[in-house]
Chain A
Amino acid sequence: MSRHSFIVHGKLALPYQYFAGSLGSKFIRALRDEKRIFGTKCSKCNTVYVPPRSLCDRCFLDIRDNIQDVSNEGTVITYTVVNHYEDHYPCKPPFILGLIKLDGATTPMVHIIKDVPIDKMRSNVRVRAVFSKYPQNTILNISHFEPIDYSVFERGYTYEELEIGMSASFTKTITETDVYLFAGISGDFNPMHVNEEYAKHAIFGKRVAHGAVPQSLIAPVLGTKLPGLGTVAIEINTRFKRPTYFGDTITAIATVKEKIEDKKWVKMDLRFINQRGEIIAKGEAVVMPPKG
């Protein structure tokens, strides 16, 4: 059918202006000249609107004169990541758009959040306004928001974020040095660990590592990977199956096995495997993951 019907192609480019009004202009000027953010407060319902409005639409009250300064710092209520490109965007995707509730405000405002690794972004992060170097005369007088404390992005998984089946591991080759250092740390100079001639006639035929040496490899897994930073170990049980000889490469693996709802703790299944694929130990740990 389309072969027989004309299609009229057109392009509309209609210019327009938008008048910010007296109150809106005052807000923009305060951002630009004083790096100050203010809202307007309804005397009836105590809502502090940021950016300011002249009318409380719930109470239908003129509030334009009831100006209230709010903090330049606030909390990200929620956020999204913009991945596609549009001409009007102020920065190149991907970037984070957050709903930021400034301290002292009732309503959150939308703005860009920068200097955060996108895959590490999360809600409830504390941020502060970074003001634009040059006047923009729009809300972009605030260039963006940046995190106040970067360490929050290194926090491990919370109880809510952890799912059964998630797993992580750490691998290390156990050397003679490790064993002798551990003997010094623990005072355990048992000849089966430190006397080769003695060990030749003992059960394993040569020197072996202390059991706690491979076992300890689970600590970097639980403490820095899964759940990760902020985790507190409650209980670790290990059953040893095979010896670890000097030069063996051991992988410690932790897998989320069970979520203990009433305590908000997590039970982890532990496995320790050598370079030959043999299980040298198995176990179970109970940990308290970090809070959001």
Chain B
Amino acid sequence: MRKRQREVAIVGVGQTKYSSHREDVNQPEMITEAIVEALNQTGLTMDHIDCVVHGNMELFEMIHQPDLWHTIGTGAMGKECLRLTTGGTTGATLVCAADALVASGMHDIVMAIGFEKLQEGHTTGGITNMADPLWGRKLQSGALVGITATQMIEEFGEQRAKKASIDYRIIMDMHAMKNEKAHRRLGLKFDMAEDLMNNSPRLVGELRMIHMCSQSDGACVVILASEDKAKEICDRPAWIVDHVTVHREEHMGTLFGLKKGKLTHRHAAEVLFKRNNIKDPVAEFDVFEMYDPSSWWGLDWLREFLLFDGDEHLRLVEDREIYMDGKFPVNPSGGVIASNPIGATAMVRFAEAGLQIMGKAGEHQIKKEVNWALASGFGGTFWTVLGILSSEKPKR
């Protein structure tokens, strides 16, 4: 299945601090911050970068072709520059595209840039805009999807489902507290669970304010290099093993549960795990950076990605096994619930998984050695990008 001319690794990561407002910088200035951090981490300069791949949500800041005018902040002038936008999966797509550009032999070192300044635009308007104008647009609540909570409560009982969901949320916040780049760091404790799950303001159904991800401003940069360059730049690069993209339109009926079809997440996992001979993902992966827009979705999607059928995903949370030093660490960065600059968000999953392998995650570095990492992106009406990173150069 792998048709690569050569292997590719993540050698550098740069991120801005994620926050609700970055009024002190304009868009290109904000992006520069992440670029400078990535360049400093690698010791590279813009002269070493062969190609810049740039993306964010289409028109979320009401800016057309931001890649072109951002050149004043990206250093892309005179370099090959591509813009990609695939909704919430954009950041992951950028990594996949950069990987393809290097793996193909087109370029040796490629910089991928994902950014968003959600405070400048109208997120729900933008997301609503993605829905089918005839069937969906007037009938949806943007990213606020409450049906997953309803389904989980029906399946597992109200108390167990709500408790597992809020536990997931609290664990994510405990992780975010260790990540100085994270946007929302609330200092949640397990003894707040009952209060939060019953008293946080309701958004849609049992989806409450506390469950939902933030709207963040920020940028993420990932530098990918070819196999011969990667070792020179980074002692322990994060090798890209494989990735799969599944995009499809889900209309209201399946999205909102009249008949729940197989999610793109499960399909992606089945394809990727089969292709890479993965039998037991919980045992084989050392970390999973998952795109989790809400703690209901985070909880439910563990089941889809890990190909569970019963209540194994709930038990992983109830047993605190998704804690960063647990059996199956999920989002040591704090995840999307903590920080969500959408065009960068899916890239942050790959970047954070890469940092864990490189051993450069700082305070939220997992204690045990990370050799094999899973990262996912989510977007659109139900879209998935799923990828595997490794500390070892894959064998061809």
Q: Which residues of A contact B (CB under 8 A)?
A: 6, 8, 10, 12, 14-24, 53-55, 57-58, 60, 62
Contact = CB atoms under 8 A, between A and B. Distances in A.
B121 interface: yes
A55 B25 contact: no
B72 A19 contact: no
Interface of B: 21-26, 28-29, 32, 45-46, 59, 61-62, 71-75, 77, 117, 119-122, 125-126, 129, 133-134, 137
A14 B24 contact: no
A16 B122 contact: yes
Contacts of A54: 25, 29, 32, 73
Contact of A14 (B119, B122, B137): B122
Contacts of A19: 21-26, 117, 119-120
Contacts of B133: 8, 10
B119 A17 contact: yes
B46 A60 contact: yes
20 contacts: A10-B137, A12-B125, A14-B125, A15-B122, A16-B120, A17-B119, A19-B24, A19-B117, A19-B119, A20-B26, A21-B23, A23-B29, A53-B72, A54-B25, A54-B29, A54-B73, A57-B72, A57-B75, A58-B77, A60-B46
Given A16-B120, A17-B120, 9 more contacts: A14-B122, A15-B122, A17-B119, A20-B26, A54-B25, A54-B29, A54-B32, A55-B32, A57-B72
Contacts of B61: 16, 18
Nearest to B28: A55
Contact of B62 (A14, A21, A22, A23): A14
A195 B36 CA distance: 96
Given A10-B133, A16-B62, A16-B120, A60 B25 contact: no
Contacts of A6: 134
List 4 tightest A-B contacts by C-beta distance, closest first. A21-B26, A19-B23, A60-B75, A14-B122
B344 to A, nearest CB: 17
A10 to B, nearest CB: 6
Contacts of B72: 53, 55, 57
Contacts of A18: 26, 61, 120
Contacts of B59: 14
A55 B26 CA distance: 12
Contact of B121 (A14, A53, A62): A14
Contacts of A22: 24-25
B24 to A, nearest CB: 5
Nearest to A64: B29
A14 B126 contact: yes
A95 B202 CA distance: 53
Contact of B71 (A12, A16, A20, A57): A57
Q: Which of B24, B59, B119 gathers most chain A CB within 10 Å?
A: B24
A17 B117 CA distance: 10
Contacts of A15: 122
Contacts of A55: 28-29, 32, 72-73
A57 B121 contact: no
Contacts of A17: 119-120
